[in-house]
């Protein structure tokens, strides 16, 4: 198992390790963390990671405060897990890496695996000594792709050649049959469809639906390589707002070791709402 991925057993063995901070990352804690959580786990909601005014992440000084409040210091081993098969946990992992945290990991299987294995749970909200945290570097360049880069690649005919765009949404979203996933029925885009040239490999194809864990790495590698997503290309993932795209980014970058993978977190919420931007419907890239 790659070092960035830890088992539920490993987490249970480190519940009270002062050098380890377990953090649950949820979309809605009222349906997850507040019902039950891993004992001694802190909570971080996806909204706390978002900038309060513009569509972006919180600035470094706010991230530092969020970490210190949860007892996290720069040398803390942070283990993230959450709901929706770790969508938002990997989203947070992406932010942690962009802000330079050295040792951050994902609990394989998230809440699904923990519950199905009958491991101990708690409703108690823990408190920790305040951490000491300083963002030492900000690296969006190797983590994030921007709209103008995608548009340039599309208009120059580079998509599918130098650049591989992976749309990780459901086939219905990719085809343009629906303009929002069922989880977010009130967050429709203006038009349905996908970025021209993007291939559709839904994020869920790498997860065992019964356990919530990632499938065997050889099977995952075959899934991507047979679709032309290979380590020699620049790979950009996208979805609706970036959380599912971060899940696939984590798989490609950290489980398979691809050297050049970024997330276009503007995703369809940006692309499919802009005037005059090319959009394609149907099953073909």
Catalytic residue among 239, 241, 251, 252: 239
**Residue 43: CB atoms within 10 Å:** 18
Whether 239 sits among the annotated catalytic residues: the reply is yes
Which residues are designated catalytic? 239
């Amino acid at each position: 198992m790659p070092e960035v991925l830890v088992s539920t057993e490993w987490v249970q063995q480190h519940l009270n390790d002062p050098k380890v901070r377990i953090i649950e990352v949820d979309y809605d804690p009222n349906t997850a963390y507040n019902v039950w959580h891993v004992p001694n786990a802190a909570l971080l909601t996806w909204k706390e990671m978002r900038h309060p005014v513009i569509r972006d992440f919180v600035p470094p000084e706010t991230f530092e405060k969020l970490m210190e409040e949860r007892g996290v210091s720069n040398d803390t081993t942070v283990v993230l897990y959450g709901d929706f098969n770790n969508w938002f946990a990997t989203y947070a992992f992406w932010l942690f890496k962009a802000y330079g945290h050295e040792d951050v990991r994902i609990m394989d299987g998230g809440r699904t695996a923990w519950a199905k294995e009958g491991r101990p749970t708690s409703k108690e909200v823990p408190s920790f000594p305040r951490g000491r945290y300083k963002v030492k570097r900000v690296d969006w360049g190797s983590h994030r792709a921007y709209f103008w880069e995608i548009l340039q690649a599309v208009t120059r005919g580079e998509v599918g050649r130098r650049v591989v765009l992976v749309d990780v949404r459901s086939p219905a979203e990719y085809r343009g049959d629906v303009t929002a996933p069922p989880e977010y029925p009130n967050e429709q885009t203006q038009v349905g469809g996908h970025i021209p040239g993007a291939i559709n490999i839904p994020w869920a194809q790498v997860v065992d639906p019964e356990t919530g864990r990632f499938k065997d790495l050889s099977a995952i590698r075959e899934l991507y390589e047979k679709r032309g997503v290979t380590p020699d290309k620049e790979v950009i993932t996208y979805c609706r707002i970036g959380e599912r795209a971060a899940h696939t980014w984590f798989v490609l970058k950290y489980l398979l070791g691809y050297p050049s993978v970024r997330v276009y977190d503007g995703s369809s919420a940006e692309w499919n709402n802009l005037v005059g931007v090319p959009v394609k419907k149907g099953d073909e890239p």
